[in-house]
Amino acid sequence: MTLARIGVFDSGVGGLTVLKAIAEQLPAHYLYFGDTARLPYGTKSAETVARYAIGAARFLEAQNIDLLVVACNTATALALPLIKEATHVPVVGVVEPGAAMAAEVSKKRAAIVIATEATISSHAYRDALQQHGLKAYEKACPLFVPLVEEGWTDHPVTEQVARIYLDEAMAQEPDQADVLVLACTHYPLLTPLLRRVVPEPMQIVDSAESTAGVVRKMLGEKSDCDLERREVAPVTERSRRTPIAAKLSPAEHRTFRFYATDSVEKFKRLAARFLGRQVDHVEHVDLGG
């Protein structure tokens, strides 16, 4: 069987949680691009974000990918239609899969969305949830990203911060939301901690895992993991191309290539936290301004 070539793009290392979730469900050749020299995207204009994202998408498309996953919430929120117009492969963002999964599991038709300031300001998840008939309560949690990158995913300070954020979020939702949507690619690393903080009946929806389910269905593949989920995307035709020659392990049927626009050593160090495995080789790429 010829394996698909899946490109995953993010402004930094957070999108590696999306890569990990997809790779756990689907054998493929994976190419990850982290635009680390130009992060954070959240402080940039929509026009600049679109320009950066399109440049990254075209770089990955030049590597003969079959499908592009925009693992960056900001790029998905601000530039997904433009990215789709600029490329010639199917494109998946992270917002719609997360919203669709929240709609699938919510009984009270209300959800709390936690994300970065930029994603909350875009109201992309709010709008997507409303399309699915859910009321959305949004809460920016700007301290989570640096805490995760510091490795403090189960630290008392992080738990205290989480309790403050979520207490504030729950105070604004009289309808008693029963779903918490993790709308930042860093946040899945906080899931065990957040599970302790939120009320027990509340479902936690990880947009990374939701996106992985969509990718799996788009490629028409069956999961090699027994996950009790229904996918929400239509099947689309995919092209087949020559796979990457070098494999990490013939038994795994998964290969990985990593590209970064800034320090490869920092990327490798942080990547190990997000992937749960060592990353030995990262290629430096300069896309210019």
**β-pair type (203-206, 179-182):** parallel
Decide if 46 contacts 273 (C-beta within 8 A): no
- Mean pLDDT (the chain, rounded): 87
* 168-178 average pLDDT score: 84
* 192-200 average pLDDT score: 94
Contacts of 243 (CB under 8 A, 6+ apart): 2, 3, 5, 29, 255
Q: Is the pLDDT assigned to residue 12 strictly greater than 90?
A: yes
pTM of the model: 0.86
* 112-116 average pLDDT score: 95
Q: Is the pLDDT assigned to residue 228 strictly greater than 80?
A: no
Q: Is the pLDDT assigned to residue 225 strictly greater than 80?
A: no
Q: Centre a 10 Å sphere on the Cβ of residue 20 and count the other Cβ atoms it contains.
A: 20
* 170-193 average pLDDT score: 90
Please tell me the predicted confidence (pLDDT) of residue 252: 57
Please tell me the predicted confidence (pLDDT) of residue 174: 65
**CATH for the 96-209 domain, from 3.40.50.1860, 3.40.50.1580, 3.40.190.10, 3.20.20.70:** 3.40.50.1860
Residue ranges, comma separated, of all CATH 3.40.50.1860 domains in the chain are 5-93+210-284, 96-209
HSE, CB side, 13 Å, CA atoms: give it for residue 134.
32
Total count of residues recorded for the chain: 289
The pLDDT confidence band at residue 253, using thresholds 50, 70 and 90, is confident
Closest CA to 16 of 34, 37, 41: 34
The pLDDT tens digits of the residues spanning 54-101 come to 999 999 999 999 999 999 999 999 999 999 999 999 999 999 999 999
The pLDDT confidence band at residue 40, using thresholds 50, 70 and 90, is confident
* Candidates 67, 68, 72, 80; catalytic one: 72
Please tell me the predicted confidence (pLDDT) of residue 43: 83
CA distance 183 to 180: 9
Enter the CATH code of domain 5-93+210-284.
3.40.50.1860
141 is catalytic: no
184 is catalytic: yes
* Candidates 181, 184, 215, 271; catalytic one: 184
Q: Is the pLDDT assigned to residue 108 strictly greater than 90?
A: yes
Please tell me the predicted confidence (pLDDT) of residue 232: 33
